Structure 1
Amino acid sequence: MTAGPGWGEVRKPGDGEPPAAAPVRLRRLNRWLVKDVLGDLADLYVDCRAAVPGDTYRRPGRRDFLNRVAADMRRPGFAMVIAESDGLMGCAFGFPVRSDGSWWLGFDGALPRSVGYVTVSGRAFAFGDILIRPHPQDGRLARRVQERLLADHQALLGATLVDGADHPALAALHSWGWRDVGELRRPLGTTTFRALVFPAEERTASRLEGLVTMSGGGGPGGP
């Protein structure tokens, strides 16, 4: 048991109370600034992708993650948003989807019309990954990071691909506002991905309401 202030002592504000959580700040990084925090990003990836009880999915390791970040950094328009408090709390990164629709190559069936329209207009943004350190407000923080990255690029729609066997990642994305629109498999690839979208505006969201039903979806990643 911890003793409280004795007789004659003045109780200081906050005595006996848990310290207030430090505010979380968002900051955008270009490819040059990302190089300075690669070690912290890799640590965040390992922490966020730690196996959960019953999870049998084998995720890429630290080195594979860094190789993927390096590959995305070479793409035109690459950008990253990080969330910082006392340390690195989360990040999201990606690049604009080309308006020729090549990012959707291998989609099973017809791409939903509204998704195709946003893609052709040049207002879709591909998320290579979204990492949020587990904490009570992780859902709110994930949405802030996602929306900031889309707003910086004036994008109406986020898009990402997730290995269909990675059920924890899919569950997290669904809880953060992402919607399943179908399956995708790259030519000569062996992995079946779930394709998900994240609408940046209410107007776009209303146009996507029926997508899960239309595409037969049941449900982060990159091309």
Structure 2
Amino acid sequence: MTAPLSPEEPRGETGTRTPAHALRLRRLNRWQAETVREELADLYVESTRAQPGQEYRGREAFLGRLASAVRRLGFSLLLAEDTTFAGCVYGFPVPRQGTWWRGFDGILPQRVEQLTASGHVFAVTEIVVHPHTADRELARRLQERLLADHHASLGATLVAETDATTCDAFLSWGWQDVGSLRRPPDPTALRPSDPVLLRALILPTGPRTATRPDGLAHESRTQRPY
């Protein structure tokens, strides 16, 4: 998971700020995402403060994660662009079988389990925002639009326990930390590693009410085919 960096305001030749509303949001399916994978990898490299000599490794790791996500059923990518790519977010529906939560430490909240079983949870697996975009709310706007496009009742993401910066960014956008889980190494990763401890974060999309202060709602009559 890549958290967006604090954007700097780009300046043109006249010193004017590029208007945020100039950005267009466009949904890409798996086939369309494949055709722009190299440009997305360039965006990732430009959006991270990699140490000298680490850009290639980070780029290849991003391409590996994207390739793995593209193969998931229901994959979708939302792209923000003007004359160039400014940001993207992608993910896929969480399978109703609950495999996303495998390795969860403790008992998964009941309403999260219910929403998963009914196919209303969408995994946001990566967010990338160029640091020079003028839209300071672009990361939030991308994730909210992706969830809305898929009529998800709940967003889900996993963040490495050691990545406090990314975790803090998600919490500032309204995500909730519901616990931790341990995942085995990804067999498709370019450089398999030991299992890591991850924080499980969720983003309810429903309104907060007196009966549902956490914004979690469950509609048992609606079942999604995931």
Per the normalisation by structure 1, the TM-score is 0.75
**Structure 1 residue runs of 4+, over 6 Å off?**
none
Matches within 5 A, 1:99-178: 99-134=96-131, 135=133, 137-138=135-136, 140-178=137-175
Q: Which residue of 2 aligns with 1:33?
A: 32
Q: Which residue of 1 aligns with 2:198?
A: 193
Q: CA RMSD in A?
A: 2.7
How far apart, CA to CA, are the structure 2 residues paired with 1:149 and 1:71? 19
Cα deviation, residue 32, structure 1: 1.1
Q: 1:210 to 1:26 in 2, by over 3 A?
A: closer
Equivalent residue letter for 1:71: S
Partners of 1:93 and 1:128 within 8 A in 2 = yes
How far apart, CA to CA, are the structure 2 residues paired with 1:157 and 1:41? 26
Q: Which has the higher contact order (CA 8 A, sep 6+)?
A: 2
Deviations 1:124-150 (A, max 9, x none): 011121112234533x22222112211
Matches within 5 A, 1:69-80: 69-80=66-77
Q: Which residue of 1 aligns with 2:81?
A: 84
Aligned residue pairs total: 189
Cα deviation, residue 85, structure 1: 2.2
How far apart, CA to CA, are the structure 2 residues paired with 1:33 and 1:109? 39
Q: 1:166 to 1:205 in 2, by over 3 A?
A: farther
Deviations 1:87-106 (A, max 9, x none): 21111111100111111000
Deviations 1:24-81 (A, max 9, x none): 11100011111221122112212223159xxxxxxx7110110111111111100100
How far apart, CA to CA, are the structure 1 residues paired with 2:211 and 2:68? 34
Cα deviation, residue 193, structure 1: 0.2
Per the normalisation by structure 2, the TM-score is 0.74
- The share of aligned pairs that are identical, in percent, is 50
Partners of 2:124 and 2:155 within 8 A in 1 = yes
Structure 1 unaligned segments of length 5 or more: list them: 1-15, 53-59, 212-223
Partners of 2:23 and 2:82 within 8 A in 1 = yes
Larger radius of gyration: 1
Q: Which residue of 1 aligns with 2:190?
A: none
Equivalent residue letter for 1:21: P
Q: 1:133 to 1:99 in 2, by over 3 A?
A: same
Equivalent residue letter for 1:50: R
